Structure 1
């Protein structure tokens, strides 16, 4: 029984770590900590799927994760009608 509880706790903690999303940081933080640049991600006209700043951050975080990044810096953003567009640099 003890082994099952320990195994369950281990699996739960691994799931929590794997579900972590890339974090928004400033350009100064990226340079200060000498993070490795790995590319850009962008979100564009989305038919209302990205209709708030929080939706925008969530989508950029998902895209940065998919690219293998831990952090992203928004370098351009705008609201276009009900949608938000943005470009972000991704760092490890």
Structure 2
């Protein structure tokens, strides 16, 4: 049981370490990060029905673009769905 729990914890840490992270504009300026592009997600049949779903998708898209960080520059809720635009940095 302890081995299974340890494996789950390690896999969660490994996944979290590779996923792009949400940061602020102040952190971008402080660390002098390089802007590499923009990403957007929009409502698609309830796929992004919570802020955590939205962050997960933004992180995935930022990873695909080669970024380590993203800053949400616009977000809004459309009924049960969310959409957002973010800048990607490395």
Deviation at 1:36, TM superposition (A): 0.4
- TM-score calculated relative to the size of structure 1: 0.79
Gaps of 5+ in 1: 1-11
- Displaced runs of 4+ in structure 1, greater than 2 A? 16-19
Deviation at 1:71, TM superposition (A): 0.1
Paired position in structure 2 for 1:79 = 77
- TM-score calculated relative to the size of structure 2: 0.81
Deviation at 1:67, TM superposition (A): 0.3
> How many angstroms apart in 2 are the aligned matches of 1:34 and 1:89?
14
Aligned CA RMSD, in angstroms, stands at: 1.9
Deviation at 1:45, TM superposition (A): 1.7
Gaps of 5+ in 2: 1-9
Alignment match of 1:64 (pick from 62, 65, 75): 62
Q: Pick the structure with greater CA Rg.
A: 1
Paired position in structure 2 for 1:55 = 53
Deviation at 1:49, TM superposition (A): 0.5
> How many angstroms apart in 2 are the aligned matches of 1:28 and 1:60?
19
- Provide, for residues 48-85 of structure 1, a one-character-per-residue CA deviation record: whole Å limited to 9, x for no partner: 00000000100000000000000000000000011100
Deviation at 1:18, TM superposition (A): 9.2
| Count of aligned positions | 79
